Structure 1
């Protein structure tokens, strides 16, 4: 019976309670299912959710079928439908669509792709959409209690909820081109370094086609610079400001970056805060 209960809890981990504390605004009330990433990013097919790392006899994993895309019941209706769905998500999904169309045109014309391509976007809305859905991911245990503060998540919530705020100085959002359909969300993970005198990189990882994001909190030192990543920031205080987003199409990074660390590094994460999702057809092919 104990094993059955444990497996049942694992199976329901992505679904969340009907009532709890919203993972974004922390209001207590009814919770809704948030697609992570949003539907407009291609997250619409039945999906299989599992742990990021392979199972083993010592730590077996149970896959979860999520109908209609990967989603988590962790945010309230206002944050889901109004804040993200209406205010922020269109800025993200428009860029995703533009990149998909760009590759389609390039494929049809057999053009040689440049190393870097620029795409028009709204940085403030784009970034808030990414961070809002990241807050919702793997947050089932966070919505049942509101008795502890996490500086990184608290800073992200304030930024997402207040359109006049600038990105906190302690937060750096790195991004790269990610041409893979495997969707990954890893919260509160740490990259450490052998012989690094305690140097580490702490934050969240969020990956879905065509972007990988690494949200780093209050990094001491410059270990992250070795990866040569571009960073996002809100270049204007105006929520609807526009800019051009450079996307480096080459060289490609490993699909397992950064959770597969460099030879001198290590990666630490918590099981229930690390998940991956694949469309059901792809996961079983």
Structure 2
């Protein structure tokens, strides 16, 4: 017998504390990925750990008719803060998708990369804002607590261009799948080193946020450079099996520690009524 994902316990709320500005009030619906950056379809949401193990196929996701949504931020942060930057992500995705299509239609090309021009501040502000929002409504029920990891990210999203200069690094790589991954906070251990990670992945980019100079990331990832207006994506198949990092196969002494309700996968539903 199938059962519904535990995600259903983490979506129902009306009023709470905004996960970006911290103000209490009516919460609005944030689309993650942002509208305009993907083709919006019927989707199901599940916690990522529910996709693993022998009983994974018996769990039914929480359905949505128009994309993956999270009611965790106020309307001002949603409409003015994220809304004012989401266009940068949508524009980048359209340009990248076109160049990626051309790349795979021309297999004789000697180059493995495609590049586009972006506004790095606006792009990163939108992506980090959606990382902060894509989580459980449980976090909205209590006043925000001080956090050395999250406070600079919130300040950056709210308009301080330099808030994360000395606190965080960002890495990105080609993400070739139609499913969407969001992870507000994951602790990853590799070769004796552990660190916190935050992630947002949807075609064609995986976007990873780490503490400054402490990050763990795939070897084919590129560092996001705030001083550059170029976004360069490596499309080679090298290390492609790590595209789902940090949820790829663990090897050796690697370990991953997470709160299940902070890690969500959304995937399109085809030919189903919901």
Aligned to 2:245: 257
Q: Report the counterpart of residue 46 of structure 1 in structure 2.
A: 42
Matches within 5 A, 1:1-285: 10-13=7-10, 15-42=11-38, 44-53=40-49, 54=51, 56=53, 61-85=59-83, 87-106=84-103, 112=109, 114-193=111-190, 196=192, 199-218=193-212, 220=214, 224=216, 227-235=219-227, 243-250=229-236, 251-254=238-241, 255-260=243-248, 261-281=250-270
Greater shift, 144-153 or 64-73, is seen at 144-153
Q: Is the 8 A contact 2:135 2:261 kept in 1?
A: yes
> Using the alignment, how far apart are the partners of 2:218 and 2:6 within structure 1?
40
Q: TM-score, normalised by structure 1?
A: 0.83
Structure 2: 5+ residue runs without aligned partners? Answer: none
Quick one: distance in 2 between partners of 1:93 and 1:58?
A: 36
Aligned to 1:239: none
Aligned partners of 1:58, 1:109: CA distance in 2, in Å? 41
Is contact 1:184-1:208 (8 Å) kept? yes
| Alignment partner, residue 238 of structure 1 | none
- TM superposition shift of 1:39: 1.4
TM-score, structure 2 normalization: 0.86
Give the distance between the partners of 2:245 and 2:271, measured in 1 at CA. Answer: 21
Partner SS for 1:256: coil
1:113 and 1:24 mapped to 2: Cα distance?
A: 44
How far does the alpha carbon of each residue in 1:198-218 deviate from its partner, in whole angstroms, 9 at most, with x for none? x21212122111111221124
Q: Is the 8 A contact 1:48 1:283 kept in 2?
A: no
Instruction: Give the distance between the partners of 1:142 and 1:225, measured in 2 at CA.
Output: 27
Matched residues in 1 for 2:64 and 2:183: separation?
A: 18
- Report if the CA contact (8 A) 1:16-1:74 is conserved: no
- 1:139 Cα shift? 3.8
| Displacement after TM superposition at 1:52 (Å) | 1.3
SS of the residue aligned with 2:85?
Answer: helix
CA distance in 2, matches of 1:156, 1:31: 20
Distance 1:271 1:9, change over 3 A: closer
Partners of 1:121 and 1:243 within 8 A in 2: yes
Total equivalences in the alignment: 266
> For residues 258 and 8 of structure 1, what CA distance do their matches in structure 2 show?
21
Cα deviation per residue 1:23-62 (whole Å; 9 max; x = unaligned)?
1111111111100110112151111111213355789855
C-alpha change, 1:7 and 1:258, in structure 2 (3 Å) is closer
Hey, what's the Cα distance between the residues in 2 that align with 1:264 and 1:282? 41
Q: CA deviation at 1:249?
A: 1.1
SS of 2:240's equivalent in the other structure is coil
Deviation, 1:9, is 7.2
